[in-house]
Amino acid sequence: MPPVAPMLAKAVPAIPAGDYVFEPKWDGFRSIVFRDGAEVEIGSRNERPMTRYFPELVEAIQAELPPRCVIDGEIVLPDFAAGRLDFEALQLRLHPAASRVRLLAARTPAHFVAFDLLALGSDDYTRRPFAERRAALEAALASARPPVHLTPATTDRAVAEACFTRFEGAGLDGIVAKSPGGRYEPDKRVMFKIKHERTADCVVAGYRPHKTGDDAIGSLLLGLYRDSGELASVGVIGAFPMATRRELRAELAPLITTFDGHPWNWAGHAGAGAGLGVRTPRSAEYSRWNAGKDLSFVPLRPERVVEVRYDHLEGSRFRHTAQFARWRPDRSPASCTFGQLEEPPSYSLSDILGKESKSAS
C-alpha cells in the first residue's frame, strides 16, 4: 500500500567492475506506481501523490500494466522531434489547475519507464533478488506498449560504458548499477549512480543572502555570455560551509552595485527584451513552485570568474545546482561563453524508448 519510499543510489566516480546490472539513469520524476484493478496511485520520490497531474499515464497504466502490481520507475517527457528528454516541460506538468492539467496532458504527454518490481498479484517481491525481480518485470511487461516502457539493461560493463556516452545525447543522466542479488530496500542508498560531470568557467553576477541574514552568502548566481554579448543566467552554486558563506559575503562586498547598467536589470529587459524570452534572475524573483519563496538577489559587478562542476544543460541552464571548483583570477569575464561547453554527441531518444528496445545487451 502507498506510500513507499523508493530505493536510492549512491554517487560513484566511475562505472564499477564486477557483477552488476547496468541501466540508464533517466532524467524525470522518480515514481512508484500502484495498480489494483481500476485504482491507480502514482507516488513521488518524496512519497507524495502525483496521480492528478498525469491523467494520460493513469489510462496507460490501466491498459498496459498487470491488474495488481507495484512498479518502480520514472516519469519522463520525451521530445521525439529534438531526440531528447525535456525536463523543463515535465516540470510544467505540475500545475494546480485541473483545466491546465488536462490541456498539458494532451499537448505534452508523459511516458513511464519501469525498472523494478515491488509486487505482482498478491506476491511481495521486495525480498527477492533483483535478478528475479527483473525477470518477472520483463515477463509482466512483455506486451506493454508506449507510453509504458521497460528500461534497457545489460550485465556487460563495456556495453554500459558505451551507453554512458551515447545516451547523454538523448538527455539521460548517466548509468545506474544494481547488484543482481540485492533486495529492494526503500530509502536506502544501495545502488550506484554514475553521472556525467564537466567544468565551466562562469561569471558571478549576483548573490542571494543566506536565510540566516545578509552577513552570509546563500548562493552565487552564475552567468555565461552569448555570442550576442548578452549575459545569460545559467544557474547557481550554494553548497558552502557557514564560515565560507560569511567570508564570501565580506569578500564580495566591494562588488555590490545597483541594477542601473547591470546585465540583469529587470527594467532594462522589460523595455528592450519584452517577448524575446530573456531569462534573468531579476525577471522571476519569486518561485513558480512556492509563491512565498523570495528569489530576489543582490547584484554584483560581473568581474569575478569561478570554475564550477556541472552534469549537463537543460536548455541554456545547468540542470542541477552546480558545484564550486575554484576561483579563476586568470580568466576574464568576457571569456566565459557558451562556446566553452562540451556538446554531447546526438543520440536518438527513439532508439532507447522504442518498444523493441527491451535490453541494451
Q: Residue 311's domain is classified under what CATH number?
A: 2.40.50.140
Q: Where residue 173 sits, what CATH number does that domain have? A: 3.30.470.30
| Res 119 pLDDT > 50 | yes
> Does position 197 have pLDDT exceeding 70, yes or no?
yes
Q: Are 258 and 299 in contact (CB under 8 A)?
A: yes
- The predicted-structure confidence for 255-264, as pLDDT tens digits, reads as follows 999 998 899 9
State how many domains the chain has: 2
**Domain annotation covers residue 354:** no
Examine the domain organization and report whether 151 and 168 are in the same domain.
yes
Nearest to 233 by CA among 274, 199, 279: 279
Whether 102 is covered by a domain: the verdict is: yes
Same domain? For 64 and 167 the reply is: yes
Same domain, 184 and 204: no
Per-residue CA distances from 284 to 145, 234, 280, 296, 297 (Å): 40, 13, 7, 8, 11
Count of beta carbons in the 10 Å neighbourhood of residue 91: 14
pLDDT above 60 for 13: yes
More confident: 48 or 237: 237
Same domain, 173 and 25: yes
Alpha-carbon distance of 64 to 67, in angstroms, equals 9
Q: 202 and 190: one domain?
A: no
Q: Span 234-248, mean pLDDT?
A: 94
Residue 156: name the closest of 39, 20, 25 by CA. 20
Residue 173: its pLDDT value, please? Answer: 80
Residue 127's domain comprises: 8-195
Quick one: 228 and 181 in the same domain? no
pLDDT at 19: 97
Note the helical H segments in the chain: 55-64, 87-91, 98-107, 130-140, 157-166, 242-252, 266-272, 350-353
Top pLDDT among 185 and 80 is at 185
Residue 345 has pLDDT above 70, yes or no: no
List, by residue number, the catalytic residues.
25
According to the per-residue pLDDT averaged within each range, which of 75-89, 128-142, 285-299, 318-332 is highest?
Answer: 128-142
Regarding pTM above 0.85, the answer is no
